[in-house]
Structure 1
Amino acid sequence: MTEGMNESKASIDVAKMRAAAHGATALLRVLANEDRLLLLCQMTEGEKSVGELETLLDIRQPTLSQQLGVLRTEGLVTTRREGKRIYYAVADPKVLSVLNAFYGLFCPKD
């Protein structure tokens, strides 16, 4: 049994694991900011306008713009313009999965 386990460990593609680890740590770096995490959590319920996010989270406009810019640059959100309003949504289903896992672990059940 030990021999079979060693064979499966040896067959793991380290380059693929390293690339996956790089992607995971990049995501975790972005999520390590409280404002960005809160913004993404609000977007798990669907797209939100900048005004909605500002009201829901009580984040001042300069900070809000800066953090939304980081999320855009990192490719974690998509944007849609409707007239003067800009709407944001989570771009990657993997990010939604991570956010849902965080919610299950850290958000109180009322």
Structure 2
Amino acid sequence: MTLPVFKDDISDAEMDRMVDNATTASNFLKAISHEGRLMILCHLVSGEKSVTELEDLISARQAAVSQQLSRLRLEGLVIPRREGKTIYYRLADNRPRRMLEVVYDLFCNDDA
């Protein structure tokens, strides 16, 4: 993969699109930059989890997990599903999974 070369003579429409994309990317990166949110996403890579399961997996209180899930939901990274009194979460799309693969390769892989 190669990054695009930015020309000095881009149109206003292209510049507006770049700004919108930069804002979207910045919000995505901010959402995953919190340790708790990052850990939640790591656990959701393997599949849907209930809030209670996530509490146990990351050793956090329900209020903290709910707060982090709220931010991830706001950014469109997770999708909730209610079954009775239990709420389950899953990844909304493949973006978090792809980003976590890169983070894993950079920071968790034995070769890092």
TM over 0.5, yes or no?
yes
Aligned to 2:21: 20
Question: 2:57 & 2:95 partners in 1: Cα distance?
Answer: 24
3-state SS, counterpart of residue 109 of structure 2: coil
Percentage of matched positions with identical amino acids: 45
Deviations 1:64-85 (A, max 9, x none): 1111111112221101112221
The amino acid of 1:88's aligned partner reads Y
Tell me the C-alpha RMSD between the 2 structures: 2.2
Aligned to 1:76: 77
Following TM superposition, by how much is the alpha carbon of 1:49 offset from its aligned partner in structure 2, in angstroms? 0.8
Structure 1 position 86 matched with structure 2 position 87: yes
Aligned to 1:58: 59
In the alignment of these two chains, the number of paired residues is 104
Q: TM-score, normalised by structure 2?
A: 0.80
Question: 2:96 & 2:16 partners in 1: Cα distance?
Answer: 22
Question: 1:39 & 1:87 partners in 2: Cα distance?
Answer: 12
Following TM superposition, by how much is the alpha carbon of 1:11 offset from its aligned partner in structure 2, in angstroms? 5.2
Unaligned runs of 5+ in 1: 1-5
Aligned to 1:96: 97
Question: 2:80 & 2:38 partners in 1: Cα distance?
Answer: 17
Unaligned runs of 5+ in 2: none
The amino acid of 2:68's aligned partner reads Q
Aligned to 1:3: none
Aligned to 1:41: 42
- Kept in 1, the 8 Å contact 2:49–2:88? The answer is yes
The amino acid of 2:106's aligned partner reads L
Displaced runs of 4+ in structure 1, greater than 3 A? Answer: none
